[in-house]
Amino acid sequence: MAAGRNGFWQRILGIDRRWIFLLVGIGTALPLIFPVNLPVAASPRVKAAYNAIEAVPEGSRVLMSLDYEPDIMAELQPMSIAVLRHCFRRHLTPIILTLYPAGPGLIERALAVASTAEGAKNYQDYVFLGYKSGNQAVVLGLGENIKGLFPKDFYGASTDSITLMRHVNSFTDFPLLIDLSGSTIADYYIRIGASRYHRPMILGATAVMATDYYPYLSSRQILGLIGGMKGAAEYERLMGIVGDARRGMDAQSLVHVIVVILVLLGNAALFATGGIKPRIGGGS
Partner 1 sequence: MRFGPLVVTFLTGAVLIAIFFIPHHRAQETQSVILEWADIVYTFALVLGSISLWAMHQKKVQQKGEGWIYSVVTLVALLGVTAFGVIQGVEAGTVVGRIYNMVNAPLASTMFSLLAFFIASAAFRAFRARNVEATLLLVTAIVMMVGRVSVGEFVWKGFPPLTEWLLDVPNLAAKRAVAIGIGLGAISTALKIILGIDRSYLGRS
CB nearer to partner 1: give 177 or 249: 249
Can you point out the beta strands (E) in the chain? Answer: 61-67, 93-98, 127-131, 177-181, 201-205, 224-227
Residues 224-243 interacting with partner 1 (rule: CB under 8 A): 230, 233
**By C-alpha distance, which of 168, 166, 170 is closest to 197?**
170
Instruction: Rank residues 52 and 72 by Cβ distance to partner 1 and give the closer one.
Output: 72
Q: Which is nearer to partner 1, 59 or 151 (CB)?
A: 151
Q: Where in 26-65 is the site for partner 1 (CB under 8 A)?
A: 28, 38-41, 43-44
Radius of gyration of the CA atoms of the chain, in A: 23
Q: How far apart are CA 187 and CA 152, in angstroms?
A: 26
The verdict on 153 binding partner 1 (CB under 8 A) reads no
CA distance 45 to 226: 7
Under 8 Å between Cβ of 233 and 251? no
Binding of partner 1 at residue 262 (CB under 8 A)? Answer: yes
In the bound state with partner 1, the residue whose beta carbon lies nearer, of 92 and 231, is: 231
Residue 259 interacting with partner 1 (CB under 8 A): yes
Instruction: Kindly tell me which of 92 and 229 has the beta carbon lying closer to partner 1.
Output: 229
Per the CB < 8 A criterion, the answer to whether 53 and 239 are in contact is no
Q: Judged by CB under 8 A, which of 17, 121, 167, 220 binds partner 1?
A: 17
Beta-bridge partners for 203: 179, 225
Walk across the sheet containing 93-98 and list its strands: 127-131, 93-98, 61-67, 177-181, 201-205, 224-227
With CB under 8 A as the contact rule, the residue among 29, 158, 184, 215 that binds partner 1 is 215
Look at residues 13, 54, 262 and name the one whose alpha carbon lies nearest to residue 5: 13
Q: Which of 48, 141, 239, 272 binds partner 1 (CB under 8 A)?
A: 141
Q: What gap in Å lies between CA 58 and CA 88, rounded to an integer?
A: 10
Q: Which residues bind partner 1 (CB under 8 A)?
A: 15, 17, 20-21, 23-25, 28, 38-41, 43-44, 69-74, 102, 104-106, 108-109, 133-134, 136-137, 140-141, 143-144, 154-155, 196, 207, 211-212, 214-215, 218, 230, 233, 249-250, 252-260, 262-267, 270, 275-276, 281-284
